[in-house]
Amino acid sequence: AAKAGGRRTRRLFEPAMDAALQGRRALERDLREAIAAEALEVHYQPLVATGSLAVTGCEALLRWRHPERGFVSPATFIPVAEETGLIAAVGEWVLARACREAAGWPGGVRVAVNLSPAQFRTPDLVGTVARALAESGLHPARLELEITEQVMLEETTANLAVLHQLRALGVRIAIDDFGTGYASLSYLRVFPFDKIKIDRSFTAALGREATAVAIVQAVIGLGASLGMTTVAEGVETEAQLAALRRSGCGEVQGFLFSRPVPATELRRLLGEAAAPWTAAA
Ligand code: C2E
Ligand code: MG
Ligand code: MG
Ligand code: MG
C-alpha cells in the first residue's frame, strides 16, 4: 500500500515539480543575462537615529528590472543566485557598487551591505571586501556587513574566522533578521556583533501583541548590555516608532521614513536630510 501511495504521490506532483524546476532554470538563465547586460541595480534605504531622526546609514538592496517579468524581488532571485553560484559575482558587484556610492555621501553616513552564506564559501571574501574598500576609498568604519543566522549555522569555525578577519579590516558586522532563527541568542555568545537588527515581524507585532513589546525591550536591553546597537526593521507607523523610542531602540528603518530608492534619489534625500529627517506623512 505504501508503494502504491508513493507512486500515486509521484504522479500527482511530478508536473508541478517540473514546472517549478523549469521556472528556476529560466530564472537562472535570465539572471546570467541580467548580470551580463548590467540590468541589476542597487537601491538604498536610510536607517535613522531614533532620537534625532538623522540618517546614520543606508542599506544597499539589490533590484532586478526584468524586461518581461518586471521588478523581480531579491527574495526570489537571491536563493537562485545562491544555488547556482552566481551569488559570488553578484555579491562582489553589490559590494563594489555600494562602497563607491557611499564614498560620495556625507561623512557620517554608513552603508550596509547584505552578505549571503554562499559568499562565505567563496575563496576570498575578505580580499573582496578589502578590494571594494581600497578601490572606492571608503573608510572601513563606514561599511557595515549584514549577515543572517545561516552564516552562523554553516561551517561555524571557518565562518567565524572570516568574520574576525572582516572585523580586523575595520568594518562593522550586524546580525540581520534577529529573532527569527532557531538559536539567535546563542550567536551573541559566539561573536561580538556591532549591531542587532530586530526582524520586522517583531516591529509589525508591536501595536498588536503585548508580548512583542516585551521581547523587543528584552533584545534592546540585551544589546545595550553587550555594547551592541539595536535597529528595528520594517517601521511603518508612528505608533511603532513611539513604542521603539520608549524602549530605547537606537535606530529605525522602514517605509515610515523611506522606501529603498535609487542612488540618485538617495543623494537628493541625503542633501535635504542635513537637517534631521522628518518622517513621511
Ligand atoms: P533584509 O536584509 O532583511 O532587507 C530588508 C527588507 O525589508 C528589504 O526587502 C526592504 O525593502 C524591506 N523593508 C524595509 N522597510 C520595510 C517596511 O517598512 N515594511 C516592509 N514590509 N518591508 C520593508 P527587499 O529589498 O525585498 O530584500 C529582501 C531580502 O533580500 C533582504 O532582506 C536580504 O536578505 C536579501 N537581499 C537584498 N539585497 C541583497 C544583496 O545585495 N545581497 C544579498 N546577499 N541579499 C540581499
Ligand atoms: Mg539586511
Ligand atoms: Mg533584515
Ligand atoms: Mg528581513
| 217-234: pLDDT as tens digits | 999 999 999 999 999 999
Nearest CA to ligand 1 atom 11: 260
Residues 6+ apart with CB under 8 A from 209: none
Better-predicted residue by pLDDT, 279 or 183: 183
| CA within 13 Å, CB half, 210 | 0
Nearest CA to ligand 1 atom 13: 234
* Coil/strand/helix, residue 139: coil
Whole-number Å distance between alpha carbons of 149 and 167: 17
Element of type H or E holding 259? none
User: C-alpha grid cell for residue 110?
Assistant: 554608513
Say what the pLDDT of residue 15 is.
67
Q: How far is the CA of 215 from the centre of ligand 1 (A)?
A: 22
Say what the pLDDT of residue 105 is.
96
* Reported pTM: 0.91
**Percentage of the chain surpassing pLDDT 90?**
64
For a mutational test of ligand 1's pocket, the pick from 61, 76, 97, i.e. the residue with the most ligand atoms closer than 8 A to its C-beta, is 61
Residues 6+ apart with CB under 8 A from 168: none
**Percentage of the chain surpassing pLDDT 70?**
91
User: HEC states along 163-196?
Assistant: HHHHHHCCCEEEEEEECCCCCHHHHHHHCCCCEE
Q: Is 176 touching ligand 1 by the criterion CB < 6 Å? A: yes
Say what the pLDDT of residue 252 is.
98
Question: Residues whose CB is under 5 A from ligand 2 (ion)?
Answer: 114, 146, 176
Whole-number Å distance between alpha carbons of 80 and 6: 29
Q: Summarize the confidence of residues 153-164 as an average pLDDT.
A: 91
Q: Scanning the structure block, which residue is given the C-alpha cell 573608510?
A: 139
Position 272 confidence tier, pLDDT thresholds 50, 70, 90: confident
Specify the range with the lowest mean pLDDT, choosing from 9-23, 105-119, 195-209, 261-275: 9-23
**ipTM confidence:** 0.98
Position 277 confidence tier, pLDDT thresholds 50, 70, 90: low
Where does the chain show beta strands of DSSP type E? Answer: 40-49, 55-66, 70-72, 110-114, 143-147, 172-178, 195-198, 229-232, 251-252, 261-262
- Which atom of ligand 1 sits closest to the CA of residue 73? 26
Q: Is 78 touching ligand 1 by the criterion CB < 6 Å? A: yes
Say what the pLDDT of residue 18 is.
76
Our CA dihedral for 177, 262, 243, 188, rounded to 10 degrees, sits at 30
Say what the pLDDT of residue 66 is.
85
For a mutational test of ligand 1's pocket, the pick from 84, 233, 257, i.e. the residue with the most ligand atoms closer than 8 A to its C-beta, is 233
Say what the pLDDT of residue 145 is.
98
Q: How far is the CA of 233 from the centre of ligand 1 (A)?
A: 9
